[in-house]
Amino acid sequence: MAQRGLVIKCIAGIDDAERCAQAFTVAATAVASGVSTSLWLTGEASWFALPGKAQEFDLPHAAPLADLLAAIIAGGKVTLCTQCAVRRGINEKDLIDGIKIAGAASFLAEIIEPDVQALVY
């Protein structure tokens, strides 16, 4: 039986730190467990696609967001929502290496694959 993949959409940023940290923690844990993992940064989480922004995140008793993001990039896939990027004036050249920009059609293509679980935080 094939292992299930995981697609996580994170819409929370510093505005909702606990929910944001949960999304990154689950994604990094999935990567560490060998699960095919895709993290989508949308809404206020979009800012974490930029260098240095994850280092600014601080939540007591949570793993450093920058470390979680690095692990997800290294072993999974990280995508920034096209519309969210445009609304924030973020371009491909601004992104951390390993993060790409894509839109709703790409998100949909990922979540309708067989044996994929989608989570939204």
Given this model, what pLDDT does residue 1 score? 43
Query: Which residues partner with 82 through β-bridges?
Result: none
Q: Does 116 score more than 80 pLDDT? A: yes
Question: What is the domain class of 5-120 according to CATH?
Answer: alpha beta
pTM summary value: 0.96
Sorted by sequence, the CB contacts under 8 Å of residue 114 that are 6+ apart come out as none
Mean pLDDT of 104-110: 98
pLDDT confidence bin for 121, thresholds 50/70/90: very high
Mean pLDDT of 80-104: 98
What residues does each domain of the chain span? Answer: 5-120
Farthest CA pair distance, the chain: 43
Q: What is the mean pLDDT of the chain?
A: 97
Given this model, what pLDDT does residue 3 score? 84
How far does Cα 68 stand from its chain's mean position?
A: 10
pLDDT confidence bin for 2, thresholds 50/70/90: low
- Tokens at 25, concatenated: 């923690």
Beta strands of the chain (E only): which ranges? Answer: 5-10, 37-41, 77-81, 99-102, 116-120
